[in-house]
Amino acid sequence: MKIFNKVILVILLTVFCASCEVEDGVNLNGADTTSISQDISRGELANAVAGVFSDMRERLGTQVDAMSVVGREYWRIQSSDPRWTADLLTGVLDDNTFYITRPYGSRYATVKNINLILEGLENTTADFTDAEIAAARGLVNTIKAHELLMVLNLEYQNGIRTDVADPDNLGPFLGYDAALSFLSGLLASAATDLSNGGPAFPFPIPAGFAAFDTPATFTQFNKALAARVAAYQGNYPEVLTHLQDSFLDLSGNLDDGAYFTFSLSGADLANPLFFALNSTVANVRIAHPSFVTDAEAGDNRVDKAQLRDSPLTSDNLTGSYDVWVYQSNIAPVGIIRNEELLLLYAEANMTADPTEAENAINVVRNAAGLGDVLPGTVDEDRILYERRYSLYAEGGHRWIDLRRFGRLGDLPLDRPGDGTVQQFPIPQNENQ
């Protein structure tokens, strides 16, 4: 698995040996990876977990851009790299280029770091209580499930490796359904650990997870991810079961949830999904015209696309609206929010309890400045519409949703020769 080994080495050295800050200024200077895996100390655990939260953001912009472009949420235009508007819009993908190799390698780097922590927790002679070890294991395995799901969202039926603890003896690729089942089980095991994790974690929790800073509250984040996985499986009873134990709140703030956070301090990262309004073809994200034209009158979610001073044309594509979801270079990026949970709740109740589905949809619509839906009209089209506008440019949801409903053919093709993408290729130098 050449890409795995090479990228892991680089990122591990960065995370554990280089000085940087993450979110609220946690210093990541720490011991080497052998020390961590053989006998992790309290200080090493805190630094390593901070490194994991930092790693989650690596190549986030590349992955979100790639998935959003193939899902026709927006066009990513970069004059120095035509692959954004060539490969990703024609559907002819390269298995040895940045839009797959970089997010793929970065996600597995995070998984590798987590595996080192898990090994260290097994071998530790430090004065951790059993509850503290359970709490730490539950947290990092929840993050591990998130990172593997990010890879699976790219690879789909190509499948992913879930057993990568030993780089010299990698497990097999699991197909999409088997991988989702694995992730569901991993999240369930992590939730059990969290339930045995006592009142507090033995390390700080970064700002983007402030609402989930105890094992009990982090379980709510775990269950939210489990509900997303169950929805991808089409298992709606399980979606509802997980949502009961998540942070779903029909009367709560739609923006409550977990976030990637950014800063300009030290060696921390700026938000890679921010571009200023009216940026040029050098680097710009242009909202797909259909996002504006397909919107219901009065839907204020369309404000996520802002009218430019003048239209921009590049590579036979012309658009008049900038993507304006992230309005500064330190704006947080949602990992999973209450708004998504409401829409998962509506989707899961679409057939089983239409009234409940309508109630959840109406909460989202009312927040967007729209009136209630007519009774009996919450169907697949309604779910897809609301998810399209509520989750716009947040993580490739439009592409994933149309794929799981078998409707990729609904995507507009903007030029002769353009096509759709069902999945990204496994990187060429991945040793299968």
Q: What is the dihedral of CA 40, 45, 48, 54, to 10 degrees?
A: 170
Please give the angle made by the CA atoms of 204, 218 and 185, to the nearest 5 degrees: 125
CA 334 vs CA 229, 233, 271, 340: distances in Å: 17, 22, 12, 10
Interval 292-350: pLDDT, tens: 999 999 999 999 999 999 999 999 999 999 999 999 999 999 999 999 999 999 999 99
Which token pair is 9?
Answer: 């080495």
Give the per-residue pLDDT at 267. 86
From its phi and psi, is residue 269 left (phi > 0), alpha (psi between -120 and 50) or beta?
beta
Give the per-residue pLDDT at 32. 59
For every one of its 432 residues, what pLDDT tens digit does the chain have, with 9 covering 90 and above? 544 444 443 334 333 333 232 223 233 234 457 779 999 999 999 999 999 999 999 999 999 999 999 999 999 999 999 999 999 999 999 999 999 999 999 999 999 999 999 999 999 999 999 999 999 999 999 999 999 999 999 999 999 999 999 988 999 999 999 999 999 999 999 999 999 999 999 999 999 999 999 999 999 999 999 999 999 999 999 999 999 999 999 999 999 999 999 999 988 999 999 999 999 999 999 999 999 999 999 999 999 999 999 999 999 999 999 999 999 999 999 999 999 999 999 999 999 999 999 999 999 999 999 999 999 999 999 999 999 999 999 999 999 999 999 999 999 999 999 999 999 999 998 865
Which token pair is 56?
Answer: 């989650």
Which token pair is 157?
Answer: 């039926």
Interval 33-63: pLDDT, tens: 777 999 999 999 999 999 999 999 999 999 9
Give the per-residue pLDDT at 22. 28
Across the beta sheet with 305-314, the strand order is: 74-77, 284-287, 317-323, 305-314
Phi and psi at 415, nearest 5°, equal -145, 155
Residue ranges per structural domain of the chain: 2-268+331-408
Give the per-residue pLDDT at 35. 78
Phi and psi at 307, nearest 5°, equal -60, 130
Give the per-residue pLDDT at 432. 57
Rounded distance, CA 284 to CA 274, Å? 9
Give the predicted TM-score (pTM) of the model. 0.93
The set of residues, in sequence order, having a beta carbon less than 8 Å from that of 383 and lying 6+ positions away, is 343, 346, 347, 350
CATH architecture of 2-268+331-408: Alpha Horseshoe (1.25)
Distance of CA 388 to the CA centre of its chain: 16
Give the per-residue pLDDT at 392. 98
Give the per-residue pLDDT at 248. 98
SS3 sequence of the chain: CHHHHHHHHHHHHHHHHCCCEECCCEECCCCCHHHHHHCCCHHHHHHHHHHHHHHCCCCHHHHHHHHHHHCCCEEEECCCCHHHCCHHHHCCCCCCCHHHHHHHHHHHHHHHHHHHHHHHHHHCCCCCCHHHHHHHHHHHHHHHHHHHHHHHHHHHHHCEECCCCCCCCCCCEECHHHHHHHHHHHHHHHHHHHHCCCCCCCCCCCHHHHHHCCHHHHHHHHHHHHHHHHHHHCCHHHHHHHHHCCCCCCCCCCCCEEEECCCCCCCCCCCCCCCCCCCCCCCEEEECHHHHHCCCCCCHHHHHEEEEEEEEEECCEEEEEEECCCCCCCCCEEEEEHHHHHHHHHHHHCCCCHHHHHHHHHHHHHHCCCCCCCCCCCCHHHHHHHHHHHCCCCCCHHHHHHHHCCCHHHCCCCCCCCCCCCCCCCCCCCCC
Q: What is the dihedral of CA 67, 71, 75, 78, to 10 degrees?
A: 30
